[in-house]
Amino acid sequence: MAEEPSQLSDFDGRYEDPADDPLFDFDEDDPDRANIFARKELLKVGHVPESGRIVGRDGEIKAVAAELRPIVRGDPPNNVIIYGKTGTGKSLVARHVTERARRAAESNGVSVGTVYVDCAQHNTQTRVARTVTRSLNETDETDLDIPRAGIGSGEYYDYLWEILDTAYESVIIILDEVDRLDDDDILMQLSRARESGKADCHLGVIAVSNKIEYRDQLNERVKSSLREEEFVFQPYDANQLREIMKHRRDAFHDGVLSDDVIPLTAALAAQEHGDARKAIEILRHAGELAERENVDTVVEEHVRDAQEWAEIDRFEELLRGSTTQVKFILYSLALLTEENPNEDGFSTNRIYERYQATTEKADAKTLSEHRVYELLKEQAFLGVVESTRTGGGRGEGSYLEHRLVQDTGIVLKSVLRDSRLEDLA
Ligand SMILES: Nc1ncnc2c1ncn2[C@@H]1O[C@H](COP(=O)(O)OP(=O)(O)OP(=O)(O)O)[C@@H](O)[C@H]1O
């Protein structure tokens, strides 16, 4: 007998107002609904908060501003590279200072264009050239219609030089995650535009990277044409993280955060390496968990659950693209680690025995021991597993021992999200 469509799936035409769709039913005045967030946008990572909310970066803000200051008088700015670990406020400072420079220059009658490019997303020369060109194109002034596709970087540059000459005296381009670019020629094009007579406008580049060794990878011609100032942002300590979060407390309604929530979140994020992004994400997710449970207060337990969620997410990101076989291996290593808390590492052979039992139980194909050894070495390269050579006493050969870098609980939870493994639990 054919199943009747449920009320939820058969909603077409049933509700005159789509807001009545029960799937998204939401009653603003429901007295029982948890009311956690007042301004959730303050906890979004891309959000650039106003100056009053930026904590502990005064020195860095002044230093970067000094490099851009010449544009206020219509002179060329210096190029800048900002290095630092993730979540140390590099993008924030770059965007904040650029916006203030633009406003100060404009109030002095100097027209300034600014562009932010996320090079992780736009990682080729054509994509960057297209983003920069299309964002700077003020159609009222330039009367140019720039195609979204079908032309190469050379043609985008031609448009760009024309736009720069028509519409601006200075332009600042932020290239975030610049190390993700597949070609550093773009840095050369931009930094030499005026020198090579392509555009009359002053161009400043702020490149942002969390790889300190990035500069060494640049080719000599790029380095000499950039002639940039470099800044290294240090990680935050727990006190600074606490202050950063306190300045966004109003993302939540009054009285929603219990007293220990911010200090605990700061302590957890500081343990890693002082990552403000992580702190803010944990805080937001703790709020969402409370909301989901329909309770009125965010408490320590929400923070701990949110932290675990963040770690599982990050670990999954690391495993993205790995095969189910790799997950069987990691699962087996995690079980061995849990059952033998006093041992520091496990030979390939022991992991293989456990792996055989796992694949048998899951009714999956079993790879050879040599293949498992190779996959373990691959995981060591990716930083998921640590492999050290050990043994080799008299008459014995040395061999590799493997251990998980990440907490076993996180590894288990994350691999068990794979539908082929979830029955094993
Ligand atoms: N000093 C600060 N004051 C207030 N908020 C901050 C501060 N530093 C960072 N944040 C916030 O932390 C989050 C991450 O910061 P940001 O994106 O600037 O870090 P990043 O160093 O560029 O990291 P990544 O290298 O991962 O891009 C953002 O939400 C940002 O607003």
Q: Where are the alpha helices (DSSP H) in 151-236?
A: 153-167, 185-191, 214-217, 220-226
Query: Using H for helix, E for strand and C for coil, what is the string for 320-362?
Result: CCCCHHHHHHHHHHHHHHHHCCCCCCEEHHHHHHHHHHHHHHH
Judge contact between 40 and 166, C-beta under 8 A: no
Nearest CA to ligand 1 atom 16: 89
**List of residues 6+ apart from 82 with CB closer than 8 A:** 64, 90, 93, 94, 206, 207, 208, 209, 230, 231, 232, 233
Q: Listing from the earlier edge strand, what are the strands of the sheet with 346-347?
A: 346-347, 398-404, 385-391
Residue closest via CA to ligand 1's atom 29 equals 45
- Residues annotated in a binding site for ATP: 88-92, 236, 248
Q: Which is nearest to 265 in space by CA: 287, 291, 238?
A: 238
Nearest 10 degrees: Cα torsion 260, 262, 265, 271: -100
Tell which one of 277, 285, 317 to mutate to probe ligand 1, the residue whose CB is within 8 A of the most ligand atoms: 277
Distance 102 CA to ligand 1 centre (A): 21
Q: Give the per-residue pLDDT at 10.
A: 54
- Reported as a single tens digit per residue, the pLDDT across 197-222 is 788 899 999 999 988 888 888 888 88
The confidence band for 150, taking pLDDT boundaries of 50, 70 and 90, is confident
Per the listing, tokens 């403000």 go with 276
> Residue 174 above 90 pLDDT?
yes
Tell me: do 127 and 256 sit in the same domain: no
Paired tokens of 168: 């601006």
Strand, coil or helix: what is 419?
Answer: coil
The closest of 302, 275, 300 to 287, measured between CA atoms, is 302
- Which of 233, 253, 278 marks a domain boundary? 233
Ligand 1 centroid vs 33 CA: distance in angstroms?
Answer: 32
pLDDT interval class at 144 (50, 70, 90): confident
Q: pLDDT tens-digit profile of 365-393?
A: 999 999 999 999 999 888 889 999 887 66
Q: Which of 233, 248, 281 is the last residue before a domain boundary?
A: 233
What is the pLDDT, as a whole number, of residue 381? 85
CA of 408 to the centre of ligand 1 (A): 29
First to last CA, the chain: 35
Q: Which residue is closest in CA terms to ligand 1's atom 17?
A: 91
Atom 8 (ligand 1) nearest CA = 89
Give the pLDDT of residue 172.
96
Each residue's pLDDT tens digit, 398-414? 888 999 998 899 899 88
Could you report the predicted ipTM of this complex, rounded to two decimals? 0.97
Q: Which of 287, 308, 277, 341 is nearest to 417 (CA)?
A: 308
Residue of the CA atom closest to atom 3 of ligand 1: 54
Strand partners, 80: 206, 229
Residue whose CA lies nearest to ligand 1 atom number 7: 89
Percentage of the chain exceeding pLDDT 70: 91
Q: What gap in Å lies between CA 161 and CA 140, rounded to an integer?
A: 17
Looking at 318, 343, 376, which one is the last position of a domain? 318
Residues 77 and 226 in one domain: yes
AA letter at 211: K
Whether 171 and 307 map to the same domain: the answer is: no
Radius of gyration of the chain (CA): 27
Residue nearest to atom 18 of ligand 1 (CA): 89
Interval 57-62 mean pLDDT? 95
| pLDDT higher than 80, residue 122 | yes
Write the CATH number for 308.
1.10.8.60
One domain, residues 393 and 300: no
Residues 196 and 63 in one domain: yes
Hey, what's the torsion of the CAs at 406, 244, 175, 184, to 10 degrees?
A: -40
Would 29 be classed as within a structural domain? Answer: no
Nearest atom in ligand 1 to 209's CA: 25
User: Which carries the bigger pLDDT value, residue 130 or residue 393?
Assistant: 130
Q: What is the mean pLDDT of residues 17-25?
A: 63
Give which of 85, 90, 86 is closest to 60, Cα–Cα.
90
Q: If you average pLDDT over every residue of the chain, what do you get?
A: 87
Domain span holding position 246 = 237-318
Ligand 1 atom closest to Cα of 84?
21
**Strand pairing partners for 112?**
170
- Residue set of the binding site: 88-92, 236, 248
Give the CA dihedral 18, 22, 24, 27, nearest 10 degrees: 100
Q: What is the CATH number of the domain that holds 325?
A: 1.10.10.10
* Residue 242 confidence (pLDDT): 96
Give CA–CA dist 89/277, Å, rounded: 8
Q: Are residues 56 and 74 in the same domain?
A: yes
Partnered with residue 155 across adjacent β-strands are: none
How confident is the model at residue 1, as a pLDDT?
Answer: 47
Highest mean pLDDT: which range of 55-69, 197-211, 263-277: 55-69
85 & 135 share domain = yes
> Could you give the CA distance from residue 84 to residue 88 in angstroms, rounded to a whole number?
6
For residues 188 and 101, membership in a common domain is answered with yes
Q: Does one domain contain both 198 and 244?
A: no
Instruction: Name residues contacting ligand 1 (CB within 6 A).
Output: 45, 49, 53-57, 84, 86-92, 210, 244, 276-277, 280
185-196 average pLDDT score? 83
Q: How many CA atoms lie within 13 A of 176 on its CB side?
A: 18
For the segment 13-28, the average pLDDT, to the nearest whole number, is: 61
Nearest in space to 246 (alpha carbons), one of 279, 217, 219, 275: 279
Please state, in angstroms and as integers, the Cα–Cα distance from residue 269 to each residue in 142, 290, 397, 403, following that order.
47, 20, 42, 24
Q: Give DSSP secondary structure letters for 110-164.
A: --EEEEEEETTTS-SHHHHHHHHHHHH--HHHH-----SSS--HHHHHHHHHHHH
Does residue 46 sit within a domain? Answer: no
Query: Distance (Å, rounded) from C-alpha 415 to C-alpha 406?
Result: 12
Mutation test of ligand 1: which of 92, 99, 233 has the most ligand atoms closer than 8 Å to its C-beta? 92
pLDDT surpasses 70 at 293: yes
- Whether residue 395 is found in the same domain as residue 283: no
Q: What is the whole-number distance in angstroms between the Cα of residue 55 and the centre of ligand 1? A: 10
Using the mean position of ligand 1's atoms as its centre, give its distance from the Cα of residue 423 in Å.
39
DSSP states of 28-68: TT-TTS---BS-GGGG-TT----GGG--S-HHHHHHHHHHH
Give the model's pLDDT for residue 257: 96
pLDDT in tens, 302-359: 999 999 988 888 888 888 778 899 999 999 999 999 999 999 899 999 999 999 999 9
Q: Ranked by mean pLDDT, which of 186-195, 220-229, 264-273, 282-291 comes out on top?
A: 282-291
CA 156 to chain centre: 28
Overall domain count for the chain: 3
